Structure 1
Protein backbone atom coordinates (compact mmCIF):
# COMPACT_ATOMS: atom_id res chain seq x y z
CA UNK A 1 0.00 0.00 0.00
CA UNK A 2 2.87 2.33 0.81
CA UNK A 3 4.59 1.64 -2.52
CA UNK A 4 1.32 2.19 -4.38
CA UNK A 5 0.76 5.50 -2.58
CA UNK A 6 4.28 6.55 -3.56
CA UNK A 7 3.50 5.64 -7.17
CA UNK A 8 0.18 7.47 -6.91
CA UNK A 9 1.98 10.58 -5.65
CA UNK A 10 4.51 10.48 -8.50
CA UNK A 11 1.72 10.06 -11.09
CA UNK A 12 -0.37 12.99 -9.77
CA UNK A 13 -2.93 10.67 -8.12
CA UNK A 14 -3.62 8.67 -11.29
CA UNK A 15 -4.29 5.50 -9.28
CA UNK A 16 -7.23 7.11 -7.48
CA UNK A 17 -9.30 6.43 -10.60
CA UNK A 18 -9.06 2.71 -9.81
CA UNK A 19 -11.23 3.11 -6.74
CA UNK A 20 -14.83 1.95 -6.72
CA UNK A 21 -17.31 4.19 -8.52
CA UNK A 22 -20.83 3.23 -7.39
CA UNK A 23 -23.06 1.38 -9.82
CA UNK A 24 -20.56 1.57 -12.66
CA UNK A 25 -20.37 -2.00 -13.96
CA UNK A 26 -16.85 -1.57 -15.31
CA UNK A 27 -15.65 -0.70 -11.77
CA UNK A 28 -16.77 -3.99 -10.21
CA UNK A 29 -13.26 -5.52 -10.61
CA UNK A 30 -11.86 -2.52 -8.70
CA UNK A 31 -13.43 -4.03 -5.58
CA UNK A 32 -10.43 -6.37 -5.42
CA UNK A 33 -7.67 -3.73 -5.41
CA UNK A 34 -9.40 -0.61 -4.05
CA UNK A 35 -8.33 -1.57 -0.49
CA UNK A 36 -4.70 -1.23 -1.61
CA UNK A 37 -5.22 2.38 -2.79
CA UNK A 38 -5.58 5.48 -0.63
CA UNK A 39 -6.45 9.12 -1.16
CA UNK A 40 -3.19 10.58 0.10
CA UNK A 41 -0.60 9.89 2.76
CA UNK A 42 -2.81 10.97 5.66
CA UNK A 43 -5.47 8.45 4.64
CA UNK A 44 -2.87 5.68 4.37
CA UNK A 45 -1.19 6.56 7.67
CA UNK A 46 -4.55 6.61 9.49
CA UNK A 47 -5.34 3.11 8.18
CA UNK A 48 -1.90 1.54 8.63
CA UNK A 49 -1.76 0.97 12.41
CA UNK A 50 -5.26 -0.54 12.82
CA UNK A 51 -4.71 -2.65 9.68
CA UNK A 52 -1.43 -3.97 11.06
CA UNK A 53 -2.65 -4.58 14.62
CA UNK A 54 -6.03 -6.10 13.78
CA UNK A 55 -4.59 -7.96 10.80
CA UNK A 56 -1.89 -9.59 12.93
CA UNK A 57 -4.37 -10.56 15.66
CA UNK A 58 -6.67 -12.02 12.99
CA UNK A 59 -3.69 -13.85 11.42
CA UNK A 60 -3.01 -15.50 14.78
CA UNK A 61 -6.25 -17.46 14.17
CA UNK A 62 -4.40 -19.13 11.31
CA UNK A 63 -3.43 -18.14 7.79
CA UNK A 64 -6.49 -19.72 6.16
CA UNK A 65 -8.88 -17.92 8.52
CA UNK A 66 -7.00 -14.68 7.86
CA UNK A 67 -7.29 -15.14 4.08
CA UNK A 68 -10.99 -16.04 4.28
CA UNK A 69 -11.72 -13.05 6.52
CA UNK A 70 -9.71 -10.71 4.27
CA UNK A 71 -11.38 -11.90 1.05
CA UNK A 72 -14.92 -11.87 2.43
CA UNK A 73 -14.44 -8.44 4.04
CA UNK A 74 -12.90 -7.04 0.85
CA UNK A 75 -15.69 -8.29 -1.40
CA UNK A 76 -18.62 -7.38 0.83
CA UNK A 77 -17.12 -4.00 1.69
CA UNK A 78 -16.56 -3.23 -1.97
CA UNK A 79 -19.99 -4.43 -3.06
CA UNK A 80 -21.68 -2.40 -0.34
CA UNK A 81 -19.77 0.74 -1.39
CA UNK A 82 -20.60 -0.02 -5.04
CA UNK A 83 -24.30 -0.52 -4.30
CA UNK A 84 -24.90 2.24 -1.72
CA UNK A 85 -22.26 4.88 -2.38
CA UNK A 86 -23.22 8.25 -3.89
CA UNK A 87 -23.03 8.39 -7.69
CA UNK A 88 -19.91 10.19 -8.96
CA UNK A 89 -17.76 9.37 -5.92
CA UNK A 90 -14.82 6.99 -5.61
CA UNK A 91 -14.14 4.67 -2.69
CA UNK A 92 -10.66 3.38 -1.90
CA UNK A 93 -8.72 2.38 1.19
CA UNK A 94 -8.29 -0.56 3.48
CA UNK A 95 -10.72 0.61 6.15
CA UNK A 96 -13.44 -1.80 4.98
CA UNK A 97 -11.04 -4.68 5.60
CA UNK A 98 -10.12 -3.16 8.98
CA UNK A 99 -13.81 -3.18 9.92
CA UNK A 100 -13.95 -6.81 8.77
CA UNK A 101 -11.05 -7.77 11.03
CA UNK A 102 -12.57 -5.82 13.91
CA UNK A 103 -15.99 -7.46 13.77
CA UNK A 104 -14.46 -10.89 13.08
CA UNK A 105 -12.44 -10.58 16.28
CA UNK A 106 -15.46 -9.26 18.20
CA UNK A 107 -17.94 -12.00 17.25
CA UNK A 108 -15.93 -15.18 16.63
CA UNK A 109 -15.96 -15.95 20.36
CA UNK A 110 -19.75 -15.85 20.32
CA UNK A 111 -19.83 -18.48 17.58
CA UNK A 112 -17.05 -20.67 18.97
CA UNK A 113 -17.77 -20.16 22.70
CA UNK A 114 -14.04 -20.14 23.40
CA UNK A 115 -13.09 -18.10 26.43
CA UNK A 116 -9.74 -17.00 24.96
CA UNK A 117 -11.46 -15.55 21.90
CA UNK A 118 -14.00 -13.79 24.10
CA UNK A 119 -11.19 -12.23 26.15
CA UNK A 120 -9.50 -11.04 22.94
CA UNK A 121 -12.85 -9.57 21.84
CA UNK A 122 -13.14 -7.60 25.08
CA UNK A 123 -9.61 -6.21 24.66
CA UNK A 124 -10.22 -5.36 20.99
CA UNK A 125 -13.51 -3.68 21.91
CA UNK A 126 -11.80 -1.62 24.62
CA UNK A 127 -9.05 -0.46 22.25
CA UNK A 128 -10.92 -0.12 18.94
CA UNK A 129 -14.61 -0.13 19.88
CA UNK A 130 -15.17 3.54 19.12
CA UNK A 131 -14.13 2.86 15.51
CA UNK A 132 -17.45 1.07 15.05
CA UNK A 133 -19.16 4.47 14.87
CA UNK A 134 -17.68 4.65 11.36
CA UNK A 135 -20.53 2.47 10.07
CA UNK A 136 -22.80 5.51 10.41
CA UNK A 137 -22.86 8.45 7.98
CA UNK A 138 -21.18 10.93 10.31
CA UNK A 139 -18.30 12.44 8.32
CA UNK A 140 -18.28 13.83 4.79
CA UNK A 141 -15.85 12.07 2.49
CA UNK A 142 -15.76 8.89 4.59
CA UNK A 143 -17.35 5.80 3.08
CA UNK A 144 -19.56 4.53 5.85
CA UNK A 145 -20.90 2.17 3.19
CA UNK A 146 -17.51 0.43 2.86
CA UNK A 147 -17.16 0.35 6.65
CA UNK A 148 -20.60 -1.20 7.07
CA UNK A 149 -19.90 -3.76 4.34
CA UNK A 150 -16.55 -4.67 5.87
CA UNK A 151 -18.17 -5.09 9.29
CA UNK A 152 -20.81 -7.38 7.79
CA UNK A 153 -18.04 -9.30 6.02
CA UNK A 154 -16.21 -9.87 9.30
CA UNK A 155 -19.37 -11.17 10.94
CA UNK A 156 -20.05 -13.50 8.01
CA UNK A 157 -16.45 -14.75 8.07
CA UNK A 158 -16.67 -15.46 11.82
CA UNK A 159 -19.94 -17.29 11.34
CA UNK A 160 -18.58 -19.37 8.44
CA UNK A 161 -15.32 -20.19 10.19
CA UNK A 162 -16.48 -20.70 13.77
CA UNK A 163 -20.20 -21.60 13.92
CA UNK A 164 -19.49 -25.32 13.58
CA UNK A 165 -17.31 -25.19 16.67
CA UNK A 166 -20.40 -24.33 18.70
CA UNK A 167 -22.12 -27.54 17.60
CA UNK A 168 -19.23 -29.84 18.52
CA UNK A 169 -19.74 -31.92 21.60
CA UNK A 170 -16.84 -32.44 23.95
CA UNK A 171 -15.39 -35.89 23.50
CA UNK A 172 -16.20 -38.36 26.24
CA UNK A 173 -13.31 -40.05 27.95
CA UNK A 174 -13.37 -43.80 27.57
CA UNK A 175 -12.69 -45.82 30.70
Structure 2
Protein backbone atom coordinates (compact mmCIF):
# COMPACT_ATOMS: atom_id res chain seq x y z
CA UNK A 1 0.00 0.00 0.00
CA UNK A 2 1.51 3.34 -1.00
CA UNK A 3 1.25 6.72 0.73
CA UNK A 4 -1.50 7.93 -1.64
CA UNK A 5 -3.90 5.07 -0.96
CA UNK A 6 -3.39 4.21 2.71
CA UNK A 7 -5.68 5.71 5.34
CA UNK A 8 -4.02 8.54 7.25
CA UNK A 9 -4.64 9.06 10.93
CA UNK A 10 -5.26 12.51 12.42
CA UNK A 11 -1.60 12.96 13.40
CA UNK A 12 -0.46 12.41 9.80
CA UNK A 13 -3.18 14.73 8.50
CA UNK A 14 -2.11 17.49 10.91
CA UNK A 15 1.53 16.98 9.88
CA UNK A 16 0.54 17.43 6.21
CA UNK A 17 -1.35 20.63 7.05
CA UNK A 18 1.60 22.02 9.02
CA UNK A 19 3.93 21.33 6.07
CA UNK A 20 1.47 22.97 3.65
CA UNK A 21 1.11 26.04 5.89
CA UNK A 22 4.90 26.25 6.31
CA UNK A 23 5.31 26.33 2.51
CA UNK A 24 2.64 29.04 2.22
CA UNK A 25 4.29 31.07 4.99
CA UNK A 26 7.71 30.73 3.30
CA UNK A 27 6.26 31.99 0.00
CA UNK A 28 4.57 34.88 1.81
CA UNK A 29 7.80 35.84 3.61
CA UNK A 30 9.72 35.81 0.31
CA UNK A 31 6.99 37.89 -1.33
CA UNK A 32 6.88 40.32 1.60
CA UNK A 33 10.64 40.89 1.70
CA UNK A 34 10.90 41.17 -2.08
CA UNK A 35 8.42 44.06 -2.14
CA UNK A 36 5.64 41.82 -3.48
CA UNK A 37 7.68 40.93 -6.57
CA UNK A 38 5.99 37.51 -6.76
CA UNK A 39 2.64 39.19 -7.45
CA UNK A 40 3.65 39.51 -11.10
CA UNK A 41 3.31 35.71 -11.30
CA UNK A 42 -0.48 35.93 -10.97
CA UNK A 43 -3.08 34.67 -13.42
CA UNK A 44 -3.53 37.46 -15.98
CA UNK A 45 -6.48 36.67 -18.27
CA UNK A 46 -5.90 36.33 -22.02
CA UNK A 47 -2.22 37.26 -21.65
CA UNK A 48 -0.02 34.32 -22.66
CA UNK A 49 2.74 34.99 -20.08
CA UNK A 50 -0.07 35.14 -17.50
CA UNK A 51 -0.75 31.43 -18.04
CA UNK A 52 1.90 30.57 -15.43
CA UNK A 53 -0.41 32.22 -12.89
CA UNK A 54 -2.90 29.39 -13.31
CA UNK A 55 -0.55 27.23 -11.21
CA UNK A 56 1.38 29.90 -9.27
CA UNK A 57 -1.37 32.42 -8.51
CA UNK A 58 -3.07 30.45 -5.70
CA UNK A 59 0.14 30.47 -3.66
CA UNK A 60 0.77 34.24 -3.87
CA UNK A 61 -1.07 36.91 -1.88
CA UNK A 62 -1.36 40.66 -2.35
CA UNK A 63 -0.92 41.63 1.29
CA UNK A 64 -0.35 40.17 4.73
CA UNK A 65 -4.05 40.63 5.51
CA UNK A 66 -4.97 38.80 2.29
CA UNK A 67 -2.61 35.96 3.23
CA UNK A 68 -3.87 35.68 6.80
CA UNK A 69 -7.52 35.71 5.72
CA UNK A 70 -6.86 32.63 3.55
CA UNK A 71 -4.60 30.72 5.96
CA UNK A 72 -7.21 29.37 8.41
CA UNK A 73 -9.77 28.33 5.76
CA UNK A 74 -7.00 26.54 3.82
CA UNK A 75 -6.04 24.63 6.98
CA UNK A 76 -9.63 23.72 7.91
CA UNK A 77 -10.69 22.73 4.41
CA UNK A 78 -7.48 20.76 3.85
CA UNK A 79 -8.21 18.77 7.00
CA UNK A 80 -11.77 18.11 5.85
CA UNK A 81 -10.62 17.21 2.34
CA UNK A 82 -8.13 14.74 3.79
CA UNK A 83 -11.10 12.79 5.17
CA UNK A 84 -11.53 11.62 1.58
CA UNK A 85 -7.89 10.45 1.52
CA UNK A 86 -4.63 11.97 0.31
CA UNK A 87 -5.08 10.79 -3.26
CA UNK A 88 -8.52 12.40 -3.57
CA UNK A 89 -7.29 15.56 -1.84
CA UNK A 90 -4.41 15.93 -4.31
CA UNK A 91 -6.58 15.08 -7.32
CA UNK A 92 -9.31 17.56 -6.36
CA UNK A 93 -6.79 20.28 -5.44
CA UNK A 94 -5.03 19.98 -8.79
CA UNK A 95 -8.37 19.91 -10.61
CA UNK A 96 -9.58 23.08 -8.86
CA UNK A 97 -6.31 24.93 -9.45
CA UNK A 98 -6.14 24.02 -13.13
CA UNK A 99 -9.81 24.17 -14.17
CA UNK A 100 -10.58 27.21 -12.04
CA UNK A 101 -7.40 28.92 -13.24
CA UNK A 102 -8.10 28.22 -16.91
CA UNK A 103 -11.63 29.59 -16.56
CA UNK A 104 -10.30 32.73 -14.87
CA UNK A 105 -7.70 33.09 -17.62
CA UNK A 106 -10.39 32.77 -20.28
CA UNK A 107 -13.19 34.83 -18.73
CA UNK A 108 -11.75 36.93 -15.88
CA UNK A 109 -11.21 40.67 -15.76
CA UNK A 110 -7.86 42.02 -16.93
CA UNK A 111 -6.04 41.99 -13.61
CA UNK A 112 -3.52 39.82 -11.78
CA UNK A 113 -5.62 37.18 -10.02
CA UNK A 114 -3.74 35.89 -6.98
CA UNK A 115 -4.54 34.18 -3.69
CA UNK A 116 -5.78 30.86 -2.37
CA UNK A 117 -9.43 31.89 -2.24
CA UNK A 118 -10.25 30.19 -5.55
CA UNK A 119 -8.93 26.95 -4.06
CA UNK A 120 -10.87 27.60 -0.85
CA UNK A 121 -14.08 28.10 -2.82
CA UNK A 122 -13.33 24.93 -4.77
CA UNK A 123 -12.93 22.97 -1.56
CA UNK A 124 -16.15 24.54 -0.29
CA UNK A 125 -18.04 23.42 -3.41
CA UNK A 126 -16.57 19.94 -3.25
CA UNK A 127 -17.17 19.46 0.47
CA UNK A 128 -20.78 20.65 0.35
CA UNK A 129 -21.77 18.40 -2.57
CA UNK A 130 -19.48 15.38 -2.18
CA UNK A 131 -20.85 14.23 1.17
CA UNK A 132 -24.35 13.97 -0.25
CA UNK A 133 -23.14 12.08 -3.31
CA UNK A 134 -20.83 9.75 -1.39
CA UNK A 135 -23.60 8.06 0.62
CA UNK A 136 -21.23 8.03 3.61
CA UNK A 137 -22.69 9.21 6.92
CA UNK A 138 -19.38 10.75 8.07
CA UNK A 139 -18.92 12.66 4.81
CA UNK A 140 -22.57 13.76 4.81
CA UNK A 141 -22.06 15.26 8.28
CA UNK A 142 -18.98 17.12 6.96
CA UNK A 143 -21.11 18.48 4.07
CA UNK A 144 -23.80 19.69 6.45
CA UNK A 145 -21.30 21.32 8.82
CA UNK A 146 -19.43 23.05 5.97
CA UNK A 147 -22.72 24.32 4.52
CA UNK A 148 -23.84 25.57 7.94
CA UNK A 149 -20.60 27.25 9.05
CA UNK A 150 -19.30 28.45 5.67
CA UNK A 151 -22.51 28.84 3.66
CA UNK A 152 -22.02 32.61 3.57
CA UNK A 153 -19.09 32.06 1.19
CA UNK A 154 -21.60 31.66 -1.61
CA UNK A 155 -22.03 35.44 -1.69
CA UNK A 156 -18.34 35.79 -2.59
CA UNK A 157 -18.99 34.49 -6.10
CA UNK A 158 -20.62 37.81 -6.99
CA UNK A 159 -18.73 41.01 -7.81
CA UNK A 160 -18.47 43.05 -4.61
CA UNK A 161 -15.14 44.84 -4.77
CA UNK A 162 -12.86 45.81 -7.65
CA UNK A 163 -9.89 44.38 -5.72
CA UNK A 164 -11.39 40.93 -5.03
CA UNK A 165 -11.20 38.21 -7.67
CA UNK A 166 -14.79 37.07 -7.52
CA UNK A 167 -13.99 35.22 -10.77
CA UNK A 168 -11.54 33.00 -8.88
CA UNK A 169 -14.23 32.39 -6.27
CA UNK A 170 -16.88 31.56 -8.88
CA UNK A 171 -14.74 29.34 -11.09
CA UNK A 172 -13.06 27.64 -8.12
CA UNK A 173 -16.50 26.88 -6.67
CA UNK A 174 -17.70 25.51 -10.02
CA UNK A 175 -14.56 23.37 -10.35
CA UNK A 176 -15.18 21.98 -6.85
CA UNK A 177 -18.78 21.08 -7.71
CA UNK A 178 -17.65 19.34 -10.90
CA UNK A 179 -14.97 17.45 -8.96
CA UNK A 180 -17.60 16.28 -6.46
CA UNK A 181 -19.80 15.05 -9.29
CA UNK A 182 -16.83 13.21 -10.85
CA UNK A 183 -15.14 11.72 -7.78
CA UNK A 184 -17.34 11.86 -4.66
CA UNK A 185 -18.57 8.28 -4.84
CA UNK A 186 -16.15 5.64 -3.56
CA UNK A 187 -14.85 3.21 -6.17
Q: Does the TM-score normalized on the shorter chain lie above 0.5? A: yes
Any residues of structure 2 matched to 1:11-22 within 5 Å, and which? Answer: 11-22=34-45
Contact 2:42–2:52 (CA<8 Å) still a contact in 1? no
Task: Tell me the equivalent position of 1:56.
Answer: 79
SS at the partner of 2:109? coil
Task: Tell me the equivalent position of 2:88.
Answer: 65
Contact 1:76–1:152 (CA<8 Å) still a contact in 2? no
Contact 2:121–2:176 (CA<8 Å) still a contact in 1? yes
Task: Tell me the equivalent position of 1:5.
Answer: 28
How far apart, CA to CA, are the structure 1 residues paired with 2:107 and 2:79? Answer: 30
Higher alpha-carbon Rg:
1
Moved more, 40-49 or 138-147: 138-147
Q: Could you list the runs of 5+ residues in structure 1 that have no partner in the other structure?
A: 166-175
CA apart distance, 1:164: 6.5
Task: Tell me the equivalent position of 1:37.
Answer: 60
TM-score where L is the length of structure 1? 0.88
Q: Could you list the runs of 5+ residues in structure 2 that have no partner in the other structure?
A: 1-23
TM-score where L is the length of structure 2? 0.83
Moved more, 106-115 or 62-71: 106-115
SS at the partner of 1:60? helix
**RMSD of aligned Cα (Å):** 1.4
